[in-house]
Amino acid sequence: MKLEKLKKLHLATRMVRAATDADFSRVKSHVPPIFQTVNFDYKDAEEGLAIFRGEKEGYIYSRNGNPTTDLLAQVIALLEESEAALVTASGMAAVSSVFLGLTAPGDAVVSSAAIYGGTRAFLQKHLSIHGVQTRFVDITDLDAVESAIDSHTRILYTEVVGNPNLVVADIAALVELAHRRDLFLVVDNTFTPPPLFQPLIMGADVVLHSATKYLGGHGDLLGGAIATKRRWIDPMAEIVKHYGAILSPFNAWLALRGIKTLELRVQRQCENAHALAHFLSKHPAVSRVYYPGMADHPQHDVARRQLQAFGGILAFEMKKGFEAAKRVMDSVQVCSFTTSLGEIDSLIIHPASTSHIALSVEERAAIGVTDSLIRFSVGIENLEDLQQDLDQALNEADRITP
Ligand SMILES: Cc1ncc(COP(=O)(O)O)c(C=O)c1O
């Protein structure tokens, strides 16, 4: 019904119908619109029937599909050069949909031990309930990875660069191993989004992202993405639909906007991170720096071979331990003391007193989270300002008596 016709109806009906009946079909919005709607209207009964029968393309209900979220999926497929892609409510929704979509009870997973804590908890506490057991291995030790694989193993899982010590997985070697043993190689590419790395081009089978991080880039959305072949997307899309782990159109739109500047942001973040890693390695308050771009990083050669640049995340340890690391959090002024990563702002965190507080000192040490460790997600601010901020915070921390 056109707006003109509403004049014949009562005010209450005008109020309800007016915005819904507006006709934008002749307008081409330069920026993609946000299809902030639950359902979609049909031209007539014939069209409705054809769409419900699957004979005609069209949208029914936004949990099953929405033009804004579908556009983001197409953009992700373009960036990761995949046949198809799927977007999800968060990075964890992407992780859980991949595992639930690709495994069946009795299957097993071999995973890098150096992965995001939420993913590890999902594998240990939830996927196991579905009858799928996970073995955690040092992903840089290919013999250990191979020995953990048995006849039940279906997925080999790794992050390209893993927390907290920025362990770099050799994706080419893992592709060879996974395919020789007839496994899916699933790669979390959150830390090294395109243009830094495209795991599918190297032969990985499935790539996933927490879009909350670099893809969004501004700390204002939660989202996830999966890119792979069409036939493997389908079972994952079923999981997303049935568990309701769908991305909202508004968050998809924010991610679409974020991706426009992804390359520029990441380039600046990598440059800043590389320079700060060198600066930190010479600072008297710091005992150790972890950054794949440093020659002394254990997988520096793999990182050089594999990545366009070394990423925007680094970690370092304070000579004076726990109290000194905490003092850095209290002293930074340009960087924000907060969790998450991949945002345009520099984010600093002391895992032992925050995200990993629930673990014992021994448990933390076993996964590389020492009391003195600080993780730094480098932003796009001016390098000199970041360096000065870190310098004053480190000097302040170095004044404490341990
Ligand atoms: C590497 C990695 N993968 C997945 C996730 C989960 O993403 P989200 O917080 O969007 O659910 C995170 C979150 O920090 C992460 O760092």
Which ligand 1 atom is at minimum distance from the Cα of 159? 1
Query: How much is the average pLDDT of 168-173?
Result: 98
CA of 84 to the centre of ligand 1 (A): 21
309-349 pLDDT, tens digit each: 999 999 999 999 999 999 999 999 999 999 999 999 999 99
CA of 281 to the centre of ligand 1 (A): 28
Do 135 and 270 belong together in one domain? no
CA of 7 to the centre of ligand 1 (A): 51
Res 292 pLDDT > 90: yes
* 198 assigned to some structural domain: yes
Res 154 pLDDT > 70: yes
* 31 assigned to some structural domain: no
36: its two tokens: 């902030």
* 12 assigned to some structural domain: no
If you take atom 7 of ligand 1, which residue's CA is the nearest one? 91
- What is the arrangement of strands in the sheet containing 184-188, beginning at the earlier edge strand? 84-88, 224-228, 206-210, 184-188, 153-159, 108-112, 133-137
* 14 assigned to some structural domain: no
Ordered alpha helix ranges (H), 183-294: 230-243, 249-259, 262-281
Residue 103 near residue 235, CB atoms below 8 Å: no
Do 111 and 171 belong together in one domain? yes
Residue with tokens 């934008």: 24
Res 6 pLDDT > 70: yes
**Domain termination site, one of 243, 259, 275:** 259
Report how far residue 171's alpha carbon sits from residue 168's, in angstroms, rounded to the nearest whole number.
9
Residue 307 has a pLDDT of 98
CA of 276 to the centre of ligand 1 (A): 24
> Ligand 1: which residues within 6 Å by Cβ?
90-92, 95, 116, 118-119, 159, 188, 190, 210, 212, 222, 224
**Domain termination site, one of 212, 236, 259:** 259
Do 296 and 233 belong together in one domain? no
CA of 182 to the centre of ligand 1 (A): 27
Residue 188 has a pLDDT of 98
pLDDT class of 401 with cuts at 50, 70, 90 = confident
Average confidence score pLDDT of the chain: 96
pLDDT class of 50 with cuts at 50, 70, 90 = very high
Residue 163 has a pLDDT of 84
Cα–Cα nearest to 255, from 20, 43, 71, 4: 71
Do 392 and 349 belong together in one domain? yes
pLDDT class of 47 with cuts at 50, 70, 90 = very high
Residue with tokens 């060198």: 278
70-93 pLDDT, tens digit each: 999 999 999 999 999 999 999 999
Higher per-residue pLDDT: 141 or 363: 141
pLDDT class of 371 with cuts at 50, 70, 90 = very high
Do 370 and 248 belong together in one domain? no
> Which CATH number covers residue 126?
3.40.640.10
* 71 assigned to some structural domain: yes
Res 239 pLDDT > 90: yes
**Domain termination site, one of 211, 226, 259:** 259
CA of 11 to the centre of ligand 1 (A): 48
Query: How much is the average pLDDT of 117-138?
Result: 96
Do 255 and 267 belong together in one domain? no
Residue 1 has a pLDDT of 59
Do 99 and 157 belong together in one domain? yes
Residue 262 has a pLDDT of 98
Ligand 1 mutation pick, 212, 243, 313, max ligand atoms within 8 A of CB: 212
Do 94 and 240 belong together in one domain? yes
Work out the end-to-end distance of the chain between its first and last CA atoms, rounded to an integer number of angstroms. Answer: 75
233: its two tokens: 């997307």
Which ligand 1 atom is at minimum distance from the Cα of 340? 14
345-364 pLDDT, tens digit each: 999 999 999 988 888 888 88
Residue 16 has a pLDDT of 95
CA of 38 to the centre of ligand 1 (A): 27
Do 288 and 145 belong together in one domain? no
Residue 150 has a pLDDT of 98
pLDDT class of 124 with cuts at 50, 70, 90 = very high
If you take atom 16 of ligand 1, which residue's CA is the nearest one? 116
HSE-CB at 224 with a 13 A cutoff on CA atoms is 20
Q: Where are the beta strands (DSSP E) in 120-212?
A: 133-137, 153-159, 161-162, 167-168, 184-188, 206-210
> Which CATH number covers residue 324?
3.90.1150.10
The domain total for the chain is 2
88-111 pLDDT, tens digit each: 999 999 999 999 999 999 999 999
Structural domain harbouring 267: 262-398
Residue 361 has a pLDDT of 85
Res 268 pLDDT > 80: yes
Res 2 pLDDT > 80: no
If you take atom 2 of ligand 1, which residue's CA is the nearest one? 116
Residue 134 has a pLDDT of 98
Res 285 pLDDT > 90: yes
Residue 402 has a pLDDT of 67
Residue 324 has a pLDDT of 97
What is the share, in percent, of the chain residues with pLDDT greater than 70?
100
Residue 4 has a pLDDT of 85
187-220 pLDDT, tens digit each: 999 999 999 999 999 999 999 999 999 999 999 9
Residue with tokens 């771009």: 293
* HEC per residue, 316-340: EEECCHHHHHHHHHHHCCCCEECCC
Cα–Cα nearest to 185, from 79, 131, 112: 112
Ligand 1 mutation pick, 87, 92, 97, 115, max ligand atoms within 8 A of CB: 92
CA of 131 to the centre of ligand 1 (A): 24
